[in-house]
Amino acid sequence: MQIKEILQLKPENQTITAKGWVRTKRGQANIAFVNINDGSTIKNIQAVVDVNNIDEETLKKVTTGACIGVTGALTPSAGAGQDSEIVVESLIIYGVADETYPIQPKKHSLEFLREKAHLRFRTNTFGAVFRVRHALAFAVHKFYNEQGFFYLNTPIITASDAEGAGEMFRVSTFEANKAPKDENGNVDFTQDFFGRETSLTVSGQLEGELGAMALSKIYTFGPTFRAENSNTTRHLAEFWMIEPEMAFFELEDNMKLAEDFVKYVIGYALENCKDDLEFLQNRLLDEEKSKPQNERSELSLIDKLNFVINNDFEKLTYTEAVDILIKSKPAQKKQFQYEVSWGIDLQSEHERYLVEKHFKKPVILINYPKAIKAFYMKQNEDGKTVRAMDVLFPGIGEIIGGSQREDNYDKLMDRIHEVGIDPENLWWYLETRKFGSAPHSGFGLGFERLVQFVTGMGNIRDVIPFPRTPKNAEF
Ligand code: ATP
Ligand code: MN
């Protein structure tokens, strides 16, 4: 039985076995209290060991980090914070952990734990984060299944650079120094595994659109790779993205789906991860104590999540947002690092001002200048803007990027020529606009940014089990 199940039982002296890793051992003259955790819940089970029952040699091996199994009677506990405990009759040691075990029962910094990524799951914080991550992933599938979407797996190895969404990692079986060259001295990829240059995908969207042009509503949920050298708290080189694509959806439908989706999965976590979210909330409160008053958040973690699911997202156009920004205090006082004018790609400082200072809630910006958005976005009648939408979240910035797609073959071709993409590489994508084209829309949500928002973790490296960032692929 998992400890989570054991803790739900009524203690009636029934015989129970619990297995897990020792968090702490406290001793008194004849009795030892051992807290065991198996990761099924943030809660530990207390094992009470009478030193007369268990031999000294065995008990000595029960140290923080050791893996043990205990069998005994489940009895009501007199201790605070727990209803039941196991009075141990027998105890096995599966694996010892000596005093060099790095995760001792004290506060470790997140930076320290990142260097112990192989063991950090055994802390309360990371246990909570990865249980919440699981719940969110499950909720993603549950939401789309209930909405009649099909889960479509798009390729991880690709020959197309989706949109220039980011720098790509090359996939090749050539040996680093022995790649064959053509007569011009360039690497001859026709001799490579796929007979052409291939990379790890930056997005499953283009293939996702092909699926939507037959199955109507699909979503992808898979790993995505960007070789961009951005050392921020919101960028990974390998992250997970959820990309729904829907036939017959216009931009307005797309916005509504994005809002419903995010609210649904956050609501699911609130309902199913209570203990973990309470722990993470207290962790955050603790962390905030060391911050100056004006940098502390106004809402606690759970209040913030409830606020998001109970309030409408603010919706406005890029042009309206630029107006607000130009008139804003920080712009007047020249406090923005990047000056605001119509046509710029909004920087994170601008997005954060809109979300955190001006509206104080999630914001959906639509109708961006076409020059700063990808070629496949549907052009508006004004000839200047496209039907793009970005969803911006407090503390996170962009969590979703999406659009209505250009479904008109000629307009799409014009745009492809304008931005200098070779249509040969996209012949299959273009054919969907030739054969039974339909209005359609979609978006991409960065899964780790969602997990960051829900858990309140400040650094994206702490919400994925094994982060991949520049100069870092140890584990
Ligand atoms: P940003 O401007 O923050 O780099 P982007 O415009 O490159 O994001 P898109 O290409 O629209 O992002 O990707 C869709 C979503 O994927 C983003 O809204 C974000 O949630 C997530 N995302 C993008 N790049 C990364 C990354 N390097 N690490 C983690 N998540 C990312
Ligand atoms: Mn990016």
Q: Is a pLDDT exceeding 60 seen at residue 7?
A: yes
- Decide whether any atom of ligand 1 lies within 6 Å of the 239 Cβ: yes
Give the C-alpha separation, 412 to 406, whole Å. Answer: 6
- Counting ligand 1 atoms within 8 A of each CB, the residue from 201, 234, 364 with the most, and so the one to mutate, is 234
Over residues 95-120, the pLDDT tens digits come to 999 999 999 999 999 999 999 999 99
Residue 164: the pLDDT is: 62
User: What is the residue-averaged pLDDT of the chain?
Assistant: 95
Partnered with residue 401 across adjacent β-strands are 390, 444
Structure tokens of 57? 């040699």
Q: Whose CA is nearest to atom 9 of ligand 1?
A: 401
> How much of the chain, in percent, has pLDDT values that exceed 90?
89
Residue 25: CB atoms within 10 A of its CB come to 18
Helix (H) or strand (E) holding 125: helix 124-146
The HSE-up count of residue 22 (CA atoms within 13 Å, CB side) is 31
Q: What is the pLDDT of residue 161?
A: 63
Token couple for 138: 């499950």
Instruction: Copy the structure tokens of residue 361.
Output: 């809630």
- Kindly tell me if the per-residue pLDDT of 165 is higher than 70: no
Closest CA to 342 of 315, 378, 376, 382: 382
Per-residue pLDDT tens over the stretch 258-272: 999 999 999 999 999
**Residue-level pLDDT at 317:** 98
Mean pLDDT value across residues 366-392:
97
- For residue 226 and ligand 1, the question of a CB distance below 6 A is answered with yes
* Average pLDDT value for residue range 142-168: 88
**Cβ atoms of residues 50 and 63 within 8 Å:** no
Note the pLDDT tens digit of each residue in 287-322: 988 888 877 888 999 999 999 999 999 999 999 999
Backbone angles phi, psi at 247, to 5 degrees: -70, 150
Which ligand 1 atom lies nearest to the CA of residue 444?
A: 14
Q: State the closest ligand 1 atom to the C-alpha of 400, by its place in the atom list counted from 1.
A: 18
Q: Using the mean position of ligand 1's atoms as its centre, give its distance from the Cα of residue 224 in Å.
A: 10
- Cβ–ligand 1 contact at 390 (below 6 Å): no
Atom 16 in ligand 1: residue holding the nearest Cα: 446
Instruction: Please give the number of the atom of ligand 1 that sits closest to the Cα of 166.
Output: 7
- C-alpha atoms less than 13 angstroms from C-alpha of 459 in its C-beta half-sphere: 14
Neighbouring residues of 111: CB distance < 8 A, sequence distance ≥ 6: none
Is residue 170 within 8 A of residue 198, CB to CB? The reply is yes
**Ligand 1 midpoint to CA 398 (Å):** 7
Distance, CA of 343 to chain centre: 30
CA 198 to chain centre: 26
Percent of the chain with pLDDT over 70: 99
415-437 tens-digit pLDDT: 999 998 889 989 999 999 999 99
- Return the pLDDT at 230: 86
Q: Ligand 1 pocket test: which of 398, 459, 468 has the largest number of ligand atoms within 8 Å of its C-beta? A: 398
Residue 80's pLDDT is 81
Distance 410 CA to ligand 1 centre (A): 29
361 CA → ligand 2 middle, Å: 22
pLDDT at 163 over 70: no
Angle at 56 between CA 50 and CA 57, to 5 degrees: 140
Burial class of residue 378 (count of CB atoms within 10 Å of its CB; 0-12, 13-18, 19+): buried
Which pLDDT value is given to residue 229?
87
Ligand 1 lined by 235 (C-beta under 6 Å): yes
Question: Which ligand has the shortest distance to the CA of 444?
Answer: 1
Cα separation, 53 vs 90, whole angstroms = 8
The Cα-based distances of 71 to 11, 68, 87 in angstroms read 14, 10, 8
Rounded to whole angstroms, the Cα distance separating 311 from 377 reads 28
pLDDT, residue 303, reads 96
What is the CA(446)–ligand 1 centre distance, in A?
A: 6
- Taking the centre of ligand 1 as the mean of its atom positions, its distance from the CA of residue 320, in whole angstroms, is 23
Residue reference for tokens 């089990």: 465
Residue nearest to atom 8 of ligand 1 (CA): 398
Tens of pLDDT, residues 176-209:
889 999 999 999 999 999 999 999 999 999 999 9
For residue range 39-80, list pLDDT tens digits in order: 999 999 999 999 999 999 999 999 999 999 999 999 999 888
Amino acid symbol at 470? P
Ligand 1 and 444: CB distance under 6 A: yes
Contact 426, 210 (CB under 8 A): no
| Residue 266 alpha carbon to ligand 1 centre in Å | 19
CA of 449 to the centre of ligand 2 (A): 12
Give residue 166 CA to ligand 2 midpoint distance, Å: 6
pLDDT at residue 464 in the model: 98
pLDDT of residue 27: 87
| Token representation of residue 404 | 């209505």
Q: Which one is predicted more confidently, 239 or 164? A: 239
The values of phi and psi at residue 262, to 5°, are: -65, -40
- For residue 449 and ligand 1, the question of a CB distance below 6 A is answered with yes
